[in-house]
């Protein structure tokens, strides 16, 4: 029964994210795992967590199968280890007073760990990423992604407590759940509102599209660049005719050129032609050769029509075993890991924490999976970024629902940062998002489009950006202390088996 509950809870939590977006399943899924591990030892709790994790990760990242079934199994199996850790922790803290609180703290604590270690972590599947278009989303501006994950987990753990309490005291159980919902939904009474805009500008996002089936960007990369040039020239013609307003700058997606535009003359001339046509800076997504001949850089380059290439942002979180190979020199790729031999160069990580300067506008950049990580976005917002852009190339996953999950994360970031978000994807999903998470403009996948919208530029830092990282750190520390106290207390309370008294034989 425990394993079946864990399995169903894992599937339910996966269904809470896009594409099904059954967000109301989140508290029930959390409660299911809490109940399934309650009363167990840490090891058996870990086994229950493993079952939960297998169900959750295979449901959530089913899209990884397009990379390879081995990639799906490997990533799901590794992520499941964190679910096992969660299961063990839940079993331990269930022995403590106020256990629903400690159970709730474990969720963001484990999310912080797997979002950071190893190889930079994998933050996909955080509870808060399922909160878009829900009443819980209002908390993002106040307590950030970590805080909303904590609130959702608290509702779930108190729901588990209510199930255990309802037979004894139905009123008490009901009041507990109502209190949890009241705390989690309190931000809806007064959602975070960005201050008065410093100014407003017009921006454009270009989705050039990928030829053919749409998922083979590397073998069609020159046509991909040509598509973005043509879409930008068409936008320039619309601007000249007065059909649309002239943008302050244009955003191209990641991999709008898959070769170094400083070394490839054809691509270089294409970018110059597009820049001259529109007459404003273009933020170009480009693969650039690194100083190390065995490495590459994934960059957003500000290309001015007059001065040429200027400010740059380098992707902070390349995908391990996808964009670089950890411990490459210790692996025999051709013999033991044949698929990894298809990645001849390692992508280097960027460290930039300052926003880009695009014609006087401070712009925070995030390239593809960067949008799921807090560090780079938060650093740029704290340093004065007035706008957030996401450059992404989801062509590999264009026939899956991964693009919808990433789009939801971009909308989460808009609320958390209190900024407009401009998303440019090679062939979907591109769009422009308001600070309250609403979609201002959106391009259909596998189409060519130029999205133009007026956006406000905001200053200041939301409480969510300031507090969110500290909520995660505090949760991690509290979770470790709670588990240690529970383990020590349990050992002290465990009865010591008494030694049998030997029978005395009396000789008469």
Q: Which residue has the tokens 């009041």?
A: 175
Q: In whole angstroms, what is the distance from residue 397 CA to residue 19 CA?
A: 14
Q: In whole angstroms, what is the distance from residue 251 CA to residue 254 CA?
A: 10
Token pair for residue 349?
């990580």
Give CA angle at 142 (251, 124), nearest 5°: 55
Token pair for residue 371?
């949008």
If we measure between CA atoms, which residue out of 452, 460, 398 comes closest to residue 429? 398
If we measure between CA atoms, which residue out of 440, 460, 461 comes closest to residue 451? 440
Longest dimension (CA), the chain: 123
Q: Which residue has the tokens 């990369």?
A: 221
β-pair partners for 249: 203
List, as own/partner pairs, every contact residues 213-221 make where C-beta atoms lie below 8 angstroms and the sequence separation is at least 24, other chains included. Answer: 213/399, 214/395, 214/398, 214/399, 214/427, 214/446, 215/66, 215/395, 215/396, 215/397, 215/398, 215/399, 216/395, 217/255, 217/258, 217/393, 217/395, 217/396, 217/426, 218/258, 221/255, 221/257, 221/258, 221/259
Residues in the chain: 508
Q: In whole angstroms, what is the distance from residue 347 CA to residue 150 CA?
A: 34
Instruction: Report helix, strand or coil for 122.
Output: coil
Residue 233 annotated as catalytic: no
Rg over CA atoms, the chain: 26
Q: In whole angstroms, what is the distance from residue 470 CA to residue 463 CA?
A: 11
SS3 content of the chain, % helix, strand, coil (to 5): 50, 15, 35
Residue 254 annotated as catalytic: yes
3-state secondary structure 412-452: HHHHHHCCCEEEEECCCCEEEECCCCCEEEEECCCCCEEEE
Instruction: Report helix, strand or coil for 43.
Output: helix
Given 254, 404, 416, 442, the catalytic residue: 254
Token pair for residue 187?
């931000």
Strand order from edge to edge, sheet including 387-392: 356-358, 361-367, 387-392, 421-425, 430-433, 439-443
Given 18, 111, 315, 323, the catalytic residue: 315
Residue 483 annotated as catalytic: no
Residue 218 has a CB neighbour count (10 Å cut-off) of 11
Catalytic residues: 254, 315, 368
């Amino acid at each position: 029964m425990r394993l079946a509950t864990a399995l169903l809870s894992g599937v339910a939590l996966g269904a809470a994210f896009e594409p099904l977006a059954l967000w109301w399943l989140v508290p029930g899924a959390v409660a299911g795992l809490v109940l399934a591990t309650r009363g167990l030892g840490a090891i058996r709790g870990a086994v229950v967590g493993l079952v939960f994790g297998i169900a959750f990760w295979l449901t959530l990242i089913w899209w990884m199968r397009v990379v390879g079934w081995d990639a799906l199994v490997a990533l799901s199996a590794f992520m499941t280890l964190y679910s096992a850790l969660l299961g063990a922790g839940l079993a331990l803290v269930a022995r403590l007073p106020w256990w629903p609180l400690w159970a709730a703290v474990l969720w963001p604590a484990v999310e912080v760990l797997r979002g950071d270690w190893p190889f930079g972590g994998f933050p996909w599947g955080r509870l808060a990423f399922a909160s878009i278009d829900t009443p819980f989303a209002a908390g993002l501006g106040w307590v950030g992604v970590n805080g909303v994950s904590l609130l959702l987990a608290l509702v779930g753990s108190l729901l588990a407590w209510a199930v255990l309490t309802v037979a004894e005291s139905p009123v008490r159980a009901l009041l507990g759940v109502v209190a949890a919902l009241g705390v989690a939904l309190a931000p809806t009474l007064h959602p975070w509102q960005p201050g008065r805009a410093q100014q407003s500008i017009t921006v454009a996002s270009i989705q050039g599209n990928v030829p053919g089936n749409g998922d083979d960007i590397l073998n069609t990369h020159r046509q991909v660049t040509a598509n973005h040039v043509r879409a930008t020239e068409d936008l320039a013609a619309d601007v000249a005719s007065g059909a649309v307003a002239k943008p302050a700058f244009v955003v191209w997606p990641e991999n709008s050129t898959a070769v170094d535009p400083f070394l490839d003359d054809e691509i270089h001339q294409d970018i110059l032609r597009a820049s001259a046509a529109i007459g404003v800076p273009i933020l170009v997504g480009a693969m650039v050769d690194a100083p190390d001949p065995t490495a590459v850089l994934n960059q957003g380059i500000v290309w001015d029509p007059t001065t040429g290439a200027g400010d740059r942002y380098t992707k902070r979180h390349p995908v391990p075993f996808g964009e670089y190979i950890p411990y490459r020199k210790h692996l025999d790729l051709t013999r033991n890991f044949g698929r990894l031999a298809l990645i001849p160069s390692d992508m280097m990580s960027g460290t930039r924490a300052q926003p880009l300067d695009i014609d006087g506008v401070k712009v925070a950049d995030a390239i593809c999976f960067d949008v799921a990580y807090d560090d780079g976005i938060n650093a740029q917002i704290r340093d004065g970024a007035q706008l957030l852009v996401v450059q992404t190339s989801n062509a590999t996953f264009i026939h899956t629902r991964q693009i919808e999950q990433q789009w939801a994360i971009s909308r989460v970031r808009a609320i958390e940062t209190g900024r407009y978000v401009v998303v440019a994807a090679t062939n979907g999903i591109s769009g422009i998002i308001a600070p309250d998470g609403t979609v201002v403009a959106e391009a259909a996948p596998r189409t060519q489009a130029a999205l133009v919208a007026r956006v406000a530029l905001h200053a200041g830092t939301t409480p969510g950006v300031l507090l969110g990282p500290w909520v995660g750190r505090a949760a991690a520390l509290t979770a470790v202390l709670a588990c240690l106290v529970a383990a020590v207390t349990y050992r002290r309370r465990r009865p010591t088996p008494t030694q049998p008294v030997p029978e005395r034989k009396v000789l008469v």
